[in-house]
Amino acid sequence: MAIDYTKRSGGRSGGTVLLTKSNPSVSLHKQASGLLRVNLNWNARPAPRGAGGLLRQWLAPADIDLDLGCLYEFTDGSKGVVQALGNSFSASPNGVRDKVVWLDGDDRSGTNSAGENLFVDLAHTARIRRIVVFSYIYEGVPNWAAADGVVTLHPASGPSIEVRLDEVDDNARMCAIAMIEQSGTGNLTVRREVRYLDGAQQRLDQEYGWGLRWTAGRK
């Protein structure tokens, strides 16, 4: 089931469309220009419930560093990954000089109120086939529940779109969050995924059939 937020008034909270299992997708109508900003925020060092003072500090888990990134595929067949790991911060189709997908940086602490941001230039909507937005626990013990991550997509116009990482699997370091893809009408559709994978980027590639060649990277 898809939400058309140009017609539907329900499912919003404070100008936000929340994607859930029952309403997993939304169409980005009339988004022919401007930027789509995909924001990741999380709690890097949460405290246990009911703890205070020194006990609160002693019981707090180790810092968690979540990375935001995406696998992309353009209509010319070019594809790859945008992420801080390996310094792959931007991507464009062949023959396009402007950035089409890019990261604004890498928040190693989770304390930056702006979080991490991935941008998509909607002027190039026709060149985008699909983008899988993901988050990866780069450092720290896998603890998605404590991290309490949320991804919010801010289109150039219209309400924001929120995906909560609220179905946790603490054996997994990777989470596929959302798929952004052509809807067949020249528009993009955002679909909630929230799929936890026991593995890294190569496992994500296998699940979604990207077919990339992977090498070890660092940041």
Reply yes or no on whether the pLDDT at 58 is more than 80.
no
Is the model more confident about 58 or about 40? 40
Q: Tell me what the pLDDT averaged over the chain comes to.
A: 81
Burial class of 209 by CB neighbour count within 10 A (0 to 12, 13 to 18, 19+): exposed
CATH fourth-level superfamily of 27-47+57-208: sav2460 like domains (2.60.60.30)
- 120-157 pLDDT, tens digit each: 999 999 999 999 999 998 776 677 887 888 999 999 88
DSSP structure string for 61-87: PPP-EEEEEEEEEETTS-EEEEBTGGG
**Predicted confidence (pLDDT) per residue in 178-193, tens digit:** 999 998 777 899 999 9
Per-residue confidence (pLDDT) for residue 121, from 0 to 100: 95
CB distance 204 to 134 below 8 Å = yes
Local confidence band at 217 (pLDDT 50, 70, 90 cut-offs): low
Does the pLDDT of residue 49 top 70, yes or no? Answer: no
Torsion sign, CA atoms 106, 140, 171, 110: negative
Pairing of strands 16-18, 160-164: parallel
Q: What per-residue string of b and e applies to 8-28 under the rule 16 or more CB within 10 Å gives b?
A: eeebeeeeebbbbeebbbbbb
Which pLDDT band holds residue 15 (cuts at 50, 70, 90)? confident
Residue 89 tokens, joined: 């911060």
Q: Using the predicted structure, report yes or no on whether residue 117 has a pLDDT greater than 70.
A: yes
Confidence of residue 62 (pLDDT cuts 50, 70, 90): low
How far is the C-alpha of 129 from the C-alpha of 147, rounded, in Å?
31
Q: What does the alpha-carbon distance between residue 69 and residue 104 come to, in Å, rounded to a whole number? A: 11
pLDDT at position 208 is 97
Residue spans per domain, the chain: 27-47+57-208
**Residues 6 or more apart whose Cβ sits within 8 Å of residue 21:** 192
Q: Over 80: is that where the pLDDT of 19 sits?
A: yes
The confidence band for 54, taking pLDDT boundaries of 50, 70 and 90, is: very low
Model confidence band, residue 90 (pLDDT cutoffs 50, 70, 90): very high
DSSP calls for 81-134: EEBTGGGB-EE--TT--S-SEEE----SSS--TT-EEEEEEGGGGGGEEEEEEE
